[in-house]
Amino acid sequence: MLFHSSLRKELARTFGATLVVLVTVVMTMTLIRTLGEATRGVFNPADVLIIMGYTVLSDLPTILSLCLFIAVVTVLTRMYRDSEMVIWLGSGRGLASLLRPLLRFCWPIFVLIFVLAFLVLPWAFGRIEDLRDQYEKRGDMARIEAGQFQESASGDRVFFIERDEKDKLAGTHVFMVTREVGKETITSAARGTVQILGNDQFLVLENGQRLEKTEGSAALSVSTFERYGARVGADNTSARSFTPPSTLSAITLLESPTPRNSAELAWRSGLFLAAVNLVLIALAAAGANPRSGRTANMAFAFLIFVVYFNLLVLGKNWVETEQISLGGYLLALHGGALALGSLWLTARHLQWTLPSLRGAPRPKA
């Protein structure tokens, strides 16, 4: 029908515009947060844009659900406000008859949310954890930043060096503090170079001095040297020792139904089920009341979305702490939302009111 076609076109325009705005906002917030984490040494500053891309990709199921919800509410509210819905309802078609064109528009987005939630989301989180782990396991020389004090991977050594622009493996004004059992050593040198001997990596210092202090003694031992070598840690290329549930596939989560895995499965399933239920709720919640203004209905609809997704987060915590089972949670939250949305839509489709539910008033004697 022409009406269905125009409805889908308007939904597509509104959905696209909302998606662009929300993705831009999320990218900006993610960039600020990732830059802060890179400053604290959680990520490699060179990987900020890559991590931001993976993070936004993992947030896409929520973004798409919100865009779909806003598009349906906005378009239907505009139709109510411009009296288009009055014409539609006056032709003998109820509100529930709009489900067909809405689902024809929404089903590709539902499929995309399902793929993102169960396939792309664990892959994106896995790549973020790999980058985080690689940065934490980098060698001592990779940790050194010119003009900054940096701690070694083992935590028993602190470096300071001024990098030589002509040679990336050499530097000037080297300062190093080493803490061992019962002993602390302070070494300084005019120049230092990195040399690889076999499988070991050494920092070779030239023209410096070494100060050694033994714990419990006030005596200091000072020595000078022309050439001194100190073994430094190399990059650790081992695999990740910890695998969070967010990086596991859905099949692995099902095969190992621990509380944390069940909570992660509840979250991914909830992203898809919430998107379906929110379209039904948006159809039932859309409307326009001239007395309450144009934004009142949108504010109410947005409040429904916020409450729903907060319940998703709470439900994940409840399943993880074993306060509720996975099946009970999915049935209570998403099954309850489906039942309430269907009841609400039925009431508006049949134009139920409180007087009609109580029965017609009795005529006065």
DSSP per position, 43-97: S-GGGHHHHHHHHHHHHHHHHHHHHHHHHHHHHHHHHHHTTHHHHHHHTT--GGG
Indicate the residue among 232, 265, 280 that finishes a domain. Answer: 232
129 and 166 inside one domain = no
Indicate the residue among 203, 232, 261 that finishes a domain. Answer: 232
**Which parts of the chain sit beneath pLDDT 50?**
363-365
- Per DSSP, 240 falls in state P
Q: Which residue has the tokens 């319940």?
A: 311
What is the rounded distance in angstroms from the CA atom of residue 253 to the CA atom of residue 278? 26
52 and 71 inside one domain = yes
199 and 78 inside one domain = no
293 three-class SS: coil
What are residue 205's DSSP bridge partners? 192, 228
**Which letter, b or e, does each residue of 170-208 get, where b requires 16 or more Cβ atoms within 10 Å of its Cβ?**
bbeebbbbbeeeeeebbbbbebbbbeeeeeebbbbbbeb
User: Is 240 inside any structural domain?
Assistant: no
- CA 10 from chain centre, in angstroms, equals 30
User: Is 359 inside any structural domain?
Assistant: no
Indicate the residue among 206, 232, 258 that finishes a domain. Answer: 232
Q: Phi and psi for 225 in degrees, rounded to 5?
A: -150, 155
Number of domains in the chain: 2
10 and 51 inside one domain = yes
249 and 130 inside one domain = yes
Give the H or E element holding residue 214.
strand 200-214
User: Is 132 inside any structural domain?
Assistant: yes
**275: burial class by Cβ within 10 Å (0-12, 13-18, 19+)?**
buried
What are residue 185's DSSP bridge partners? 178, 212
DSSP string, 146-204: TTS-EE-TTSSEEEEEEEETTEEEEEEEEEEEEEETTEEEEEEEEEEEEEEETTEEEEE
Residue 299's pLDDT is 79
> Helix 259-285 and helix 99-115: axis angle, to 10°?
160
**Which letter, b or e, does each residue of 209-220 get, where b requires 16 or more Cβ atoms within 10 Å of its Cβ?**
ebebeeeeeeee
Q: What is the pLDDT of residues 165-220, one digit of tens each?
A: 565 567 777 877 887 777 888 888 887 777 776 666 677 788 888 888 887 777 77
User: Is 238 inside any structural domain?
Assistant: no
125 and 10 inside one domain = yes
- Per DSSP, 119 falls in state I
183 and 329 inside one domain = no
122 and 165 inside one domain = no
64 and 191 inside one domain = no
User: Is 171 inside any structural domain?
Assistant: yes
User: Is 124 inside any structural domain?
Assistant: yes
Distances (CA, A) of 357 to 344, 346, 354: 14, 13, 5
180 and 79 inside one domain = no
- Neighbouring C-alpha atoms within 13 Å toward the C-beta of 73: 23
User: Is 363 inside any structural domain?
Assistant: no
Residue 312's pLDDT is 92
Range of the domain at 310: 2-136+245-352
User: Is 360 inside any structural domain?
Assistant: no
145 and 129 inside one domain = no
Task: Give the pTM.
Answer: 0.76
256 and 348 inside one domain = yes
What are residue 164's DSSP bridge partners? 167
